Structure 1
Amino acid sequence: MGRMDNEPELPKVEWLNDRLQLTLAFSKRYKMSTAVCYLRLHFPQELSQHHDDEIETALVSNILSRLNRSIRNIDTLIKINRTDFAILLVDITEHDCKQICERMISSISDTYTIDYRHFSISSNIGICMFPYGAEEPEKLLVIAKAQMYVAEARGENQFSLYIGELDQMASRKVLIENDFPYALKRGQLHVQFQPQYSLEKKAIEGAEALIRWNHPSLGEVSPAEFISYAEEAGMSNQLFFWVFEEVCRQIASEKIRIMKYSINLSVNQLLLDSFLDDVKEIIHLYSVSAKHITLEITENIEIYSVKTVNERLIALKEAGFTIALDDFGNGYFSFSDFIKLPIDYIKLDRNFVFSLWKNKKHKGVVLPIINMAHNLGLQVIIEGIEDQTQFVEWAQLGCDIIQGYFISKPITFEAMMDSIAEIEERAEAVRNQG
């Protein structure tokens, strides 16, 4: 496939509602059926994480050309964002609509070659038809989007047609995705802290800051449900700095106990040109020492320049920050790259820990990891410890810090400070029993 310099010209997303209104008015007048399709592209993980704009533009250009060839001249294709599209199929039967959706999916599903690199692209489509599914433009689009999630649940390259009953999980996803961009402005986000227990010090020596969303109708929404939307909406950097500042604001008043507060950091944020200056400015604003902040960077950094990442991490360490490597165990990069990283902690991935525990392989697998980390001068954090038995066994393996529901669920800063003594007493009592 050759490179295409320009994407085909499409109606702007701002026109989507107007196009829907006009299309439905036309369909009502001439008593025709219309289908609203919601299509989502699925880019390979390496492209999504690396945000290679030039390659992505070339891919999308090719995909749009294929989509335009798959629909009729009377139909309308509208790009909503980098992965999502709306397709308005006018004067269409259900049978023909399904055929066009199959044609669109088939035309997209392919391996694309750009600059000698190969990328496999898949898609899913949700469909809602007028007048059988809904008559209001906004409702048609919402239902089509919900059906796209139903199609995703079936697997890649599937489509789903609304038949009169919305899938609850798909409806929840639509509501979350549509409302999240406004959550920060409306003061619906807050930070909770999950204490981290040091086995050597027999004390809580840190806590991980975890963002939560109090949705007005759904209640508490976990970050697993909305972080991906934040990334797609280009809000991940804004979200990080909001959490960072909120943590600094809350801990600024705590002068009694010296602890480290961990904040999750993506490589995209780390590589921002102004990142170091920005975090320094925030801690200076709240008179917080960098030594009280641990930045947890995820392990999937091998898709970036290890040299550049190292330089940024070294600068953070020189400024006084502690660095932890989060999600260790996913195996994204080589040992030679790992030992170059200027880190202080490794944090075993919760799913990795659970899988080892479930299969009774934790002792044989984790012990060499812990020994390796200690030989490199690193401390090991185990997260996802949920009960007394797990706590005792993982403690006996020689890890340094334990985090999980057995220690404490995520709670407010004030609640954590009030419960530290009780947590420490309970943990020590269990260790003595074990």
Structure 2
Amino acid sequence: MSRLNKYAIDLLIQKELFHHSYQAMYHLKNSTWFGHEAFFRSHLSSNPEEVFRLAQNCKKLFELDTVSIFHAVSSYFRSEEGMAFALNRLLFINTFPSTLLHPSFPGFLENMMTEIPSFSSQRIVFEIVESEPITELKSLQNTIDLLRDLGFRIALDDVGQGAASLRHIIEIEPEFIKLDRYFSVDLASSEKKQKVVELFVDLCKDTDTEIILEGIEQTGDFMLAASLGAHIVQGYLLGRAIPLPQLETGQCMER
């Protein structure tokens, strides 16, 4: 049950009353475990979107988003001594467009790169969420250019959910496109969804962009994703998002 109010947001940020769970991602083309996506969790609310929506209303979105990013990265990298299977795998982190455009973001980035032991920008993927409109595309492109110069990669999340997705694919040229989970559910029994997935796979042919299907929960959908040419999959079938103590035992390897 939610216990959020405008005062709780400040406390959430200051005391870091949250943690992250990590869901494994599987590379179909290479038949290897590819990386993990970090998911924000807090006992103050079972709905992360509610937390960030309230933070936005309280003009605290940048503070919450950056403290969450820092925590997700530092926790993941710090735990790798007990996670031999996770070494050198990518970490996907959900990020709001306004966070990347914030004037304090370069300073935050520099601090994160210097303060976290064993930090590697080549292993971080900023996953730009579609729940917040991109209002300054040119400025965002400039920030993305800076991130790429530093070794980071970019993913677009929930592609297909918003009307601007195709334009963002063309203008941003992300390294990864995550199709909205709508297209994964019952993929094996929906010819229309299969055609949409094929369309995106064809769109990215002969480019460095890879297609990710999230929300894979059934074996039939997994097999169809592979046959359609999707590059990467994630979902309950391959492993749920779990905290680091469990992740260290390799439980996410079970499927």
Verify the 8 A CA contact 2:185 2:221 in the aligned structure 1.
no
Pair 211,337 (structure 1): closer, same or farther in 2 beyond 3 Å? closer
Question: What pairs with 1:61-76 in structure 2 (closer than 5 Å)?
Answer: none
CA contact (8 A) 2:92 2:127 kept: yes
Contact 1:264 1:296 in 2 (8 A): yes
Deviation (angstroms), 1:312 = 0.8
Contact 1:302 1:332 in 2 (8 A): no
Identity level (%) = 25
**Length-normalised TM-score, structure 1:** 0.52
> How far apart are residue 226 of structure 1 and its match?
2.3
- Other-structure match for 1:363: 194
Tell me the residue number matched to 1:202.
31
Counterpart residue type for residue 344 of structure 1: E
Gaps of 5+ in 2: none
| Residues 1:303 and 1:237: Cα distance change in structure 2 (over 3 Å) | closer
User: Residues 263 and 293 of structure 1 are in contact (CA less than 8 Å); yes or no, is this contact kept in structure 2?
Assistant: yes
Task: Look up the match of 2:145.
Answer: 314
* 1:225 aligned to which of 50, 73, 76: 50
SS in 1 for 2:122: helix
The alpha carbon displacement at 1:349 in A equals 1.2
Change over 3 Å in CA distance of 1:310–1:416 after alignment to 2 = same
* Contact 1:388/1:406 (8 A) holds in 2: yes
363 and 351 in structure 1: CA distance in 2 versus 1, 3 angstrom threshold? closer
Q: Which residue among 104, 126, 129 is the counterpart of 1:274?
A: 104
Considering only aligned residues, what root-mean-square deviation do their CA atoms show, in Å?
2.5
Distance change in 2, residues 1:418/1:358 (3 Å): same
Residue aligned with 2:36, SS: strand
1:386–1:405: 8 Å Cα contact kept in structure 2? yes
Q: How many angstroms does 1:191 deviate by?
A: 1.0
Amino acid at match of 1:289: S
Aligned to 2:249: 418
Matched residue type, 1:322: R
Q: Distance in 1 between matches of 2:252 and 2:12?
A: 34
- What does 1:69-218 correspond to in 2, within 5 Å? 175-177=3-5, 180-181=8-9, 182-215=11-44
Aligned residues: 248
Match of 2:89 among 259, 262, 271: 259
Bigger relative CO (Cα 8 Å, ≥ 6 apart): 2
Asked whether the 8 Å contact 2:66–2:99 carries over to 1, the reply is no
> In 2, are the aligned partners of 1:177 and 1:226 still within 8 Å (CA)?
no
Distance 1:282 1:363, change over 3 A: same
Are positions 1:401 and 2:228 aligned together?
no
1:286 Cα offset (Å): 1.0
Aligned partners of 2:187 and 2:224 also within 8 Å? no
Aligned to 1:347: 178
Instruction: From the CA coordinates, give the structure whose radius of gyration is larger.
Output: 1
Amino acid at match of 2:236: Y
Structure 2 residue aligned with 1:292: 123
The Cα shift of 1:178 comes to 5.6
Query: Alpha-carbon deviation of 1:306?
Result: 2.2
Say if 1:260 and 1:293, in contact at 8 Å, map to a contact too. Answer: yes
Q: Distance in 1 between matches of 2:152 and 2:198?
A: 28
Superposed CA deviations along residues 354-380 of structure 1, whole A, max 9, x for unmatched, are: 386675522122111112123332101
The answer to whether the 8 A contact 2:155-2:174 is kept is yes
Amino acid of the structure 2 residue aligned with 1:347: K
The Cα shift of 1:205 comes to 1.4
Q: Does 1:381 align with 2:223?
A: no
Q: Which runs of 5+ in 1 are unaligned?
A: 1-171, 427-434
Single out whichever of 355-364 and 269-278 deviates more from structure 2. Answer: 355-364
Under a length normalisation based on structure 2, what TM-score does the superposition of the two structures give? Answer: 0.86
SS in 2 for 1:340: helix
State the distance in 2 between where 1:347 and 1:339 align.
15
